[in-house]
Structure 1
Amino acid sequence: MGRTEYYHDPSAPKANTLIPASNLLVADDRGAILLQRRRDTGQWALPGGAQDIGESPAQCAIRECEEETGVIAEVTGFLGVFSDPRHIVAYTDGEIRQQFEVAYIGHPIGGAPRVNDESDGVEWVLPDHLDDFDIHTSMRQQIGLYLRGEYPYLG
């Protein structure tokens, strides 16, 4: 399923759903951040996705991280709540979502980076090299808050 992201774009379609999702910003002992390249947009992002019934937001973040990157991580902190009504994601099936993400901070405890159906690239990226990657503005916001120590964000 394809998707188009609109960020503070007045031509964005009107949202018709609000789905809880969780992200996990995983940093290793060197300070490198785990990123995945999304197959549906080609952009690099933190691992994350929609929460399933029966799981907590933190469990969702851990599951999505392993599914999308192959890295098993534990939650070590809370980054924030991100729900910008002007960040819209339109899917080819007609679903149009308003952003709603609960983001956590994590540390790797197992697994190894691997590609899959959702990600065609997985990299550990040192902060000095983030500008070499096409990262969506919303992900940049979350990474920037983490790097500056400006969390938890309750936007």
Structure 2
Amino acid sequence: MGAKRTRRIDYWKDPEAPEPTSRKTSASVFVRDEAGRLLLLRRVDNGLWTIPTGGVKKGETVGEAGVRECREETGLEVEVTGLVGVFSTPDHVIVYLHGDRVDEVRQPINICLRARVTGGRIMPEPSEAAEVRWVDPSVLDEYPIHPALRTRIDHGLRSTEPCIS
């Protein structure tokens, strides 16, 4: 019998969402190339497209977490150049399941950083990303992106002023 994979279910502005049991900080990176395309990856746990994102570990800064997550998920090395914003709305709830068992119901706090590529090459980590690609912002509507992530992306595209929500 094979190992059961962790699944993730995201809720957005859903009155039926379960009550959170934890509140954790994550870092994400908003990376564009010279042509203005955005770095996206398709998650293995829910099949949705996202920017590189992951939890901040003990002993590391938010910036270090964003750089690490981008390298782990995409194979690309980045440096942080600024802040897109801090996103902490209680409208977003994430349920993590292992098999049929609920491991955690999280209300996330995300710090979204601007970054630029400094090295590496696109090599998705199979346990993290099913696919990684550069996407022109004009076709983002063709990609299934959770509304909480789309809020971060849209803010990053339209403003250089950080968002606090």
- TM-score clears 0.5: yes
- Consecutive unaligned residues in structure 1, runs of 5 or more: none
1:64-109 residue CA offsets vs partner (Å, 9 max, x unmatched): 0010111111111101100111200011143000021001001111
Residue number in structure 1 paired with 2:3:
none
Q: Deviations over 1:103-129 (max 9, x none)?
A: 100111111112221100000011112
- Please, which of 88, 99, 102 is the counterpart of residue 111 of structure 2? 102
Decide which of 25, 30, 33 is 1:28's aligned counterpart.
33
Is 1:53 the counterpart of 2:62 in the alignment? no
Which ranges in structure 2 are unaligned for 5 or more consecutive residues?
1-5
Q: Which has the larger displacement, 135-144 or 56-65?
A: 135-144
Query: TM-score if structure 1 supplies the norm length?
Result: 0.97
Q: How far, CA to CA, are the matches of 1:71 and 1:53 in structure 2?
A: 23
| Alignment match, 1:113 | 122
- Displaced runs of 4+ in structure 1, greater than 4 A? none
**Which protein shows a greater Rg?**
2
2:151 corresponds to which residue? Answer: 141
- Name the CA distance, whole Å, in 2 between partners of 1:135 and 1:113: 20
- What secondary structure sits across from 1:146 in the alignment? helix
Q: Kindly report the root-mean-square deviation, in angstroms, between the aligned alpha carbons of the 2 structures.
A: 1.0
Q: Which residue identity is paired with 1:127?
A: P
Distance in 2 between residues matched to 1:150 and 1:61, nearest whole Å: 18
